[in-house]
Copies of this chain bind each other. A is one copy, B any other.
Amino acid sequence: MEQRKRNPAHQSIAREIGIAIATGHYLPGAILPGELDLAESRGVSRSVVREALRMLAAKGLIESRPKAGTRVRARADWNLLDPDLLAWMFEGEPPMAFVESLFQLRMIVEPAAAELAARLRSSRHVGRLGHALEVMEEAGLSSPEGQAADQQFHNIILEATANDLLISLSGSIGAAVRATTLFKHRKAKQLRDSIPLHRDLFAAITDGDPAAARAATVTLILQAQEDTESSLKA
């Protein structure tokens, strides 16, 4: 049994308060309890609370000023691409509008990235993609290993674009997709098998065919979107 990496207290507290903000328990403009209150209510010291608050401030969630207290900033100031924050948003029922925003963004970024990858991929990338695809085929997409391979498959594509900013976006979007995937499986709906589509995408990248890579990616995302939204309607 692998011992899960133990969290320092400030990290758990940041997560707790972060989720409370992200899920709307504290609304933008609201002032959250004083540091001393927060410390006492969670049973930790003030320093731990302060460090947690600094983390949230670094993500654009809050803003502190002496005497005025700590205020939740406007949503527009939130760093929504932060992987942690994105994950926190999906605790509880994610709002439909937000899920649509996510798929819209994926639909903008990922086809373009696939196009780039098809042009710039090295043989090493092709090899790693092939390996990830094999693992997916063998383990299946409902198993943890298969899902890990799925993520890695997409990460390798982003890596092949040789664009640091796109790679970073990949991490963020990946965190969110992971969360929606959890959601899909929680509902235990009959999901369509996306492995054939992955095979198409793999072939397009191997052939160095940008147009085909774009098309395959679009199809892939559309299917994921349909499955996710039908799960959410339930």
A contact set with B: CB distance below 8 Å: 10, 14, 47, 50-52, 54-60, 75-84, 97-98, 101-102, 104-105, 108-109, 112-113, 116, 163-169, 171-172
Contacts and interface: CB of A to CB of B under 8 A. Distances in A.
Contacts of A83: 60, 79
Contact of A82 (B10, B79, B109, B167): B79
B59 A101 contact: no
B168 A78 contact: yes
Given A108-B108, A108-B112, A168 B79 contact: yes
Contacts of A52: 54
Q: Indicate how many identical chains form the complex.
A: 2
Nearest to A100: B163
B54 A101 contact: no
In the complex, the 9 A-B pairs of residues with the closest C-beta atoms, listed nearest first: A80-B168, A58-B58, A55-B58, A81-B81, A108-B112, A51-B54, A101-B163, A105-B165, A101-B165
Nearest to A166: B105
Contacts of A108: 108-109, 112-113
A10 B112 CA distance: 39
Given A81-B172, A83-B79, A169-B81, A98 B164 contact: yes
Contacts of A97: 164
Contacts of A47: 47, 50
Contacts of A82: 58, 79, 81-82
From A97, A101, A164, name the one whose CB has the most chain B CB atoms within 10 angstroms: A164
B112 A76 contact: no
Given A59-B58, A82-B79, A164 B101 contact: yes
Nearest to A116: B104
Contacts of A171: 76-77, 79
B168 A81 contact: yes
Contacts of A50: 47, 51
A10 B10 CA distance: 16
15 contacts: A47-B47, A52-B54, A56-B58, A78-B168, A79-B171, A80-B164, A80-B167, A81-B165, A101-B163, A102-B165, A104-B165, A105-B163, A105-B166, A108-B109, A108-B112
Contacts of A56: 58
